[in-house]
Amino acid sequence: MPHISVSMYPGRTQEQKRELVAKLTDAFVETCGGNREGVWVVINEVPAENWGVGGELRG
């Protein structure tokens, strides 16, 4: 069972997240094979103040 994890800032609509999950699933199946039912996608919405880049906290 493939598992795709996406971390991003909060704020996208449910429709945007549905489309993201569908397109990531399709891309995986087209590239690696398998079937859609076996692909898991998890969206982690992480507030901007909890992201660190280049050794510094962004928030």
Helices (H), the chain: 14-32
Q: What is the pLDDT of residues 8-57, one digit of tens each?
A: 999 999 999 999 999 999 999 999 999 999 999 999 999 999 999 999 99
Supply the residues annotated as catalytic. Answer: 2
Q: How far apart are CA 52 and CA 27, in angstroms?
A: 28
- Residue 20 has a pLDDT of 98
For 35, left (φ over 0), alpha (ψ -120 to 50), or beta?
beta
Out of 3.40.630.30, 3.30.429.10, 3.20.20.100, 3.40.50.720, which CATH number does the structure's domain 3-57 have?
Answer: 3.30.429.10
Residue spans of the domains in the chain: they are 3-57
